[in-house]
């Protein structure tokens, strides 16, 4: 008797719980995000170029400059200056004592293979005189520069995937299966530095890290991985300079 | 003396329950109205209603949840965070509130990244 009562009570609780949850309404919302940086003092933006390293398959300097320029043209109020990419490696090397027979540096020095290799060039971004001179040349714009590391990465381990199985009665079921997999892909680590072209000082800097891994036997071109990873971090980059609206849905309750 | 205290406690208990029920009922009316206007895009009015609901009944998780959504829609992310956390504190197992909060956090984390200077 007590068991039966308990069953009735628990079903009643379940009914009331479902009834209680039935008053919900899905609603679309747009969350406005204020820009992290106040760029109201600038009318123009110069994407000066990047010191890039990592894989030789993608020119991180050229590709990042091109992509950011095209994004800012459509998604920002700032006028994008069309100019050649600055020879940043040369400028960085000019400042430090180098052997006379040193090989001429390009914006994509093959010697830059990891984050540590970038360190000798970092001082350029703090060189106020250099950036002030560039600012004067381009009529005091906001300057965007920084570093881009695009490196191959690989990782092995257990991954969970869903597998379709059929029971003895022919019923279809999907069960999680853990399998050992070797995965290869790329890691993208750009550091964006925003410089005031009037004073040459750094206003803001931001580092992002994104990684994509594929099945080891899947041949994905490096350039397509680069764009896949840039696509992930572009909204965050753009939200530094311009206000964004992020669309989504939420559930209102009663 | 002990009997006297017991009587007072019983009386207080007997009157507190209907009072709480009245508060919830009043708050519910505000919440309903807020949902109605929010669905028509009148978010400012919705905020006013849900703030009233929270004042009337601070233990009403649905009102806190809705208020959080409205703040999020207005771009006031700090107020939204506080309201979501309050809603979750009141109903920690509510799947809808948890889902709303997770979605909110994704956006909020993006704006408060630690690796920027």
Does the beta-carbon distance from A24 to B115 stay under 8 Å?
Answer: no
Whether residue B37 is predicted with pLDDT greater than 90 in this model: the reply is yes
**Matching residue, tokens 């572009």:** A234
Indicate whether B101 belongs to any domain. yes
**pLDDT grade, residue B114 (50/70/90)?**
very low
Please give the tally of structural domains in chain B.
1
Does the beta-carbon distance from B73 to A33 stay under 8 Å?
Answer: no
Whether residue A17 is predicted with pLDDT greater than 60 in this model: the reply is no
* Length, in residues, of chain B: 117
**Interatomic CA distance for residues B115 and A148, integer angstroms:** 16
Burial class (CB in 10 A: 0-12, 13-18, 19+), A244: buried
Whether residue A220 is predicted with pLDDT greater than 70 in this model: the reply is yes
**Matching residue, tokens 């400028």:** A91
- pLDDT tens track for A124-180: 999 999 999 999 999 999 999 999 999 999 888 787 878 888 888 888 888 888 888
- pLDDT tens track for B40-68: 999 999 999 999 999 999 999 999 999 99
Which residues in chain B have Cβ-Cβ distances shorter than 8 Å to A246?
107
For A84, A160, B54, B64, B104, the CA distances from B77, given in Å and listed in that order, are: 40, 35, 18, 14, 9
Whether residue A34 is predicted with pLDDT greater than 90 in this model: the reply is no
Which residues in chain A have Cβ-Cβ distances shorter than 8 Å to B96?
21, 24, 251, 253
- pLDDT tens track for A72-118: 999 888 999 999 999 898 888 876 654 444 444 455 555 788 888 88
pLDDT of residue B101: 97
Indicate whether B7 belongs to any domain. no
Question: Residue B35 sits in a domain of what CATH number?
Answer: 1.25.40.10
Domain ranges in chain A are: 44-165+173-253
Q: State which residue of chain A sits closest to B35, comparing Cα positions.
A: A252
**pLDDT grade, residue A16 (50/70/90)?**
very low
Q: State which residue of chain B sits closest to A22, comparing Cα positions.
A: B96
> Mind spelling out the 3-state secondary structure of chain B?
CHHHHHHHHHHHHHHHHHHHHHHHHHHHHHHHHHHHHHHCCCHHHHHHHHHHHHHHCCCCHHHHHHHHHHHHHHCCHHHHHHHHHHHHHHCCCCHHHHHHHHHHHHHHHHHCCCCEC
- pLDDT tens track for B24-36: 889 999 999 999 9
Domain A44-165+173-253 has CATH 1.10.10: no
Q: How far is CA A214 from the centre of its chain?
A: 18
**Interatomic CA distance for residues B9 and B11, integer angstroms:** 5
| pLDDT (average), residues A181-191 | 91
**Interatomic CA distance for residues A110 and B84, integer angstroms:** 50
- List the single range of A50-59, A153-162, A201-210 with lowest mean pLDDT: A153-162
Q: State which residue of chain A sits closest to B29, comparing Cα positions.
A: A254
Q: How far is CA A71 from the centre of its chain?
A: 13
Question: Please, which residues have CB within 8 angstroms of residue B43's CB and are 6 or more apart in sequence?
Answer: B37, B70, B73, B74
pLDDT of residue B113: 60
**Interatomic CA distance for residues B86 and B32, integer angstroms:** 20
pLDDT of residue A102: 43
Indicate whether B95 belongs to any domain. yes
Indicate whether B16 belongs to any domain. no
pLDDT of residue A29: 96
- List the single range of A174-188, A189-203, B84-98 with lowest mean pLDDT: A174-188
Whether residue B10 is predicted with pLDDT greater than 60 in this model: the reply is no
**Interatomic CA distance for residues B67 and B84, integer angstroms:** 8
pLDDT of residue B5: 57
Interface of A with B in 172-201 (CB under 8 A): none
Does the beta-carbon distance from B115 to A207 stay under 8 Å?
Answer: yes
CB neighbourhood size of A45 (10 A):
25
pLDDT of residue A9: 47
What share of chain B has pLDDT > 70, as a percent?
78
Indicate whether B14 belongs to any domain. no
* Mutation site for A-interface testing, chosen from B31, B69, B102 by largest number of A Cβ within 10 Å: B69
**pLDDT grade, residue A235 (50/70/90)?**
confident
**Mean pLDDT, chain A, whole residue set:** 85
**pLDDT grade, residue B1 (50/70/90)?**
low
Whole domain around residue B86: which residue ranges? Answer: 21-111
Tokens read off for B96 = 């809808």
Facing A251 at nearest CB: one of B72, B100, B111: B100
Does the beta-carbon distance from B32 to A27 stay under 8 Å?
Answer: no
- List the single range of B2-11, B59-68, B87-96 with lowest mean pLDDT: B2-11
Indicate whether B1 belongs to any domain. no
pLDDT of residue B2: 59
């Amino acid at each position: 008797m007590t068991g039966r009562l308990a069953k009735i009570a628990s079903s009643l609780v379940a009914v009331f719980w479902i009834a209680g949850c039935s008053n919900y309404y899905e609603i679309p919302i747009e969350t406005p995000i204020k820009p992290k940086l106040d760029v109201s003092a600038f009318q123009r933006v110069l994407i000066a170029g990047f010191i890039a390293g990592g894989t030789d398959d993608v020119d991180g300097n050229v590709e990042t400059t091109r992509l950011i320029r095209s994004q800012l043209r459509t998604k920002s109020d700032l006028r994008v200056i069309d100019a050649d990419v600055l020879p940043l490696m040369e400028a960085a090397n000019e400042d430090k004592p180098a052997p006379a027979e040193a090989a001429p540096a390009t914006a994509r020095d093959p010697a830059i293979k990891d984050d540590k290799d970038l360190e000798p060039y970092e001082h350029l971004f703090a060189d106020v005189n250099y950036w002030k001179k560039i600012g004067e040349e381009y009529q005091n714009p906001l300057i965007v520069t920084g570093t881009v590391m695009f490196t191959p990465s690989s990782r092995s381990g257990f991954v969970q995937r869903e597998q379709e199985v059929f029971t003895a009665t022919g019923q279809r079921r999907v069960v999680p299966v853990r399998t050992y997999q070797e995965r290869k892909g790329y890691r993208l680590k750009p550091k964006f530095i925003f410089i005031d072209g009037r004073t040459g000082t750094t206003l803001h800097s931001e580092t992002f890290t994104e990684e994509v891994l594929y099945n080891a036997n899947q041949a994905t071109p490096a350039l397509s991985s680069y764009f896949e990873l840039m696509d992930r971090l572009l909204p965050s980059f753009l939200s530094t300079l311009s206000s964004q609206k992020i669309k989504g849905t939420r559930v209102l309750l009663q | 003396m002990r009997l006297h205290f017991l009587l007072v406690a019983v009386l207080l208990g007997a009157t507190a329950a209907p009072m709480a029920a009245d508060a919830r009922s009043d708050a519910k009316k505000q919440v309903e109205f807020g949902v109605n206007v929010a669905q028509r895009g009148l978010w400012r009015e919705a905020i006013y209603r849900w703030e009233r609901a929270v004042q009337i009944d601070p233990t009403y998780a649905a009102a806190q949840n809705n208020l959080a959504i409205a703040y999020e829609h207005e771009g006031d992310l700090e107020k939204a965070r506080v309201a979501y956390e309050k809603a979750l504190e009141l109903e920690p197992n509510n799947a809808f509130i948890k889902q709303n909060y997770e979605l909110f956090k994704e956006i909020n984390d993006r704006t408060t990244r630690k690796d920027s200077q």
